Chain A
Amino acid sequence: MEKRVIFKGWMLPALLLLPQIVITAIFFFYPAGQAIWQSMFVPDPFGLKTQFVGLGNFEYLLGDPYYRASFVTTAIFSGLVTVVSMGVALYLAILADRLIKGSGTYRTLLIWPYAVAPAVAGVLWMFMFNTRVGVVAWYLGLLGYDWNHVLDEAEAMGLVVVASSWGRISYNFLFFLAGLQAIPRSVIEAAAIDGAKFWTRFRTIVWPLLSPTTFFLLVVNVVYAFFETFGVIHTITAGGPQQATTILVYKVYSDGFVGQDLGSSAAQSVILLLLVGILTVIQFKFIERRVHY
């Protein structure tokens, strides 16, 4: 799309663009370029000079069992976060959509946790399940279940998944409810007159018509789970126990800043960059299709 009516000159637009060009160049393109450049070097043991290794860092990473494990961890983690947060949100949205009055009130009550930072959500959940003082952990103990996410890998994963999904429910709920309310009432009424029960209506009408929303949320939630959950992981488990919750972004951080392995961390950044690129393409392809639809 283009404007037919425009202004003349190039000095003014250049000036208007300058702030963004300068900031993006210094704080985006230069570091991104640096990441690609650094990913092809390894520092010597004394950190005095670096040696060019080409794709050596990538080769090493792909053969590294810890890195591969982190890939699997990320896949499990983001899959679970996406399914849990979208599942609960869809369930609540369907309920709210059934109400004639009051869905607005529930919306207000349900959307504000969006404003709670992932890191704060992490602290809240860590407090509930704290092995020493956590209320939930204590009641689980009463029931004979010995909760200890500091030692148990599955419990640690479960806790970071729930803490990450919790705040995300608001966001998904909002989009699902909007999607449900956009479905023409008459179509559902018609099916109901023909005797279709709730589940039949949901399976054959609502779910297909909701699929653009669902697909959009799927991509957005995977991106969320990949990057924005760093705060949750860092506050609750710090990647442990035994790296059971070390997702890719966490590994970039821990290898780069804690382990000081810059070459490897940069190579990991580049791999993440490619993953994000793929997700972006998928998202934009999809949005274009929705525009035509």
Chain B
Amino acid sequence: MSDQRGMVQRRGLGHWFTHLGLIIGVLFIFFPIWLAFVASTVTQPEIVRPPMPLLPGGHFIENYSKALFSGVNAPVASMMLNSLIMALGITIGKIVISLTSAFAIVYFRFPGRTVFFWLIFLTLMLPVEVRIVPTYEVIANFGMLNSYSGLIFPLIASATATFLFRQFFLTVPDELTEAARVDGASPMQFFWHILLPMSRTNIAALFVILFIYGWNQYLWPLLITTDPSMNTIVMGIKQMFPSGDDLADWPVIMATSILAMVPPVIVVISMQKLFIRGLVDSEK
């Protein structure tokens, strides 16, 4: 096997250069995170008198518990809980409404079906960033500022997932539907017992992508959560910097940055196959 690529595969020195190039790339990717981690384990004086150390110090527990339980404006633990609720709300909400509407579009004929399809198609690529001011007004009028529903609903209003499930449902063999109908299954029974189990992998892959998308939201929570107790962790980090000339509490801020990336990174690494599949699917 190894000789199959022998013709285009450099041996010896070239081989090591390939590894060297990749290792340099990996180090470049890791360096900022390593530095943040080191900063989250040392004391403030060690950071403000540059250069800061490049190896971790002994204040890990102290800095992280300070961040988690007291933070700067709000305890980071509560910000993480807000992020988790927001991310799960967006993920589950979007998957549920997309599954049912894709089912309706693919498996039924009703007046206005094509119009509806094109309407959701329109929402495909328009990010919330483009319509922030009017969407903000809608949320404010509903009294949904500083609320989870205000954080979640505007980010569900896009049809990427609907489109994805539509594409998948179209590949499900008609014979299955036929068989279900012959056996007297109602549309909803078909949906629950045949379509949903078949979509498991697609749902899981989408779950990974949407969770990261939801967790990493920045602009929207920045606008609608003015109350620190509703801040999400990703937008809360910037709020921890003092506005004037005061010195930022770097160890706590860097501990918060690390905490902000731990959940999505764990999701990506532990579900790597689903993650890659979700990425490729959702961009098609």
Contact = CB atoms under 8 A, between A and B. Distances in A.
Contact of B50 (A91, A108, A133, A227): A133
B13 interface: no
Contact of B101 (A19, A100, A135, A174): A19
Contacts of B218: 117-119, 230-231, 234
A117 B261 contact: yes
Contacts of B7: 189, 192-193
A35 interface: yes
B133 A117 contact: no
B210 interface: no
B43 interface: no
Contacts of B159: 20, 24
A92 B130 contact: no
Interface stretch (B56-64, B72-80, B199-207, B267-275): B267-275
Contacts of B181: 5, 7
B35 A128 contact: yes
A108 B26 contact: no
B126 A276 contact: yes
Contact of B257 (A26, A123, A188): A123
Interface string B75-116: 000000000000000000000111011011111111100001
Contacts of B260: 117, 120
B186 to A, nearest CB: 8
Q: Which of A12, A26, A178 has the most CB of B within 10 A?
A: A12
A20 B162 contact: yes
Nearest to B23: A106
Given A30-B138, A125-B32, A114 B238 contact: no
Interface stretch (A42-50, A56-64, A67-75, A265-273): A265-273
Contacts of B157: 23-24, 26-28
Nearest to B212: A115
Given A31-B138, A34-B134, A123-B237, A115 B265 contact: yes
Interface string A269-289: 100110010011001000100
B215 A119 contact: no
Interface string A96-139: 10111010001011111111111111011101100011110011
Interface string B126-154: 11011111111110000000000000011
Given A12-B188, A19-B100, A216 B223 contact: no
A132 B48 contact: yes
A8 B104 CA distance: 11
Interface residues on A, range: 35 or more
Contacts, number: 294
Contacts of A14: 104, 110
Interface string B240-284: 000000000010011001001100110111001001100110011
A265 B129 CA distance: 12
A132 B245 CA distance: 11
B187 A12 contact: yes
A193 B6 CA distance: 11
Contacts of B18: 95, 98-99
A77 interface: no
A275 to B, nearest CB: 9
B130 A227 contact: yes
A6 to B, nearest CB: 6
Given A5-B178, A12-B188, A135 B51 contact: yes
Q: Which of B32, B54, B212, B234 has the most CB of A within 10 A?
A: B32
Given A3-B174, A13-B104, A31-B131, 10 more contacts: A5-B177, A10-B108, A12-B108, A17-B104, A118-B216, A123-B36, A132-B48, A135-B50, A135-B52, A138-B50
24 contacts: A12-B108, A17-B105, A19-B97, A19-B101, A21-B116, A26-B153, A38-B133, A99-B19, A115-B216, A119-B216, A123-B257, A127-B32, A127-B39, A134-B50, A185-B4, A185-B8, A188-B8, A193-B7, A227-B129, A230-B129, A231-B234, A253-B219, A266-B134, A279-B125
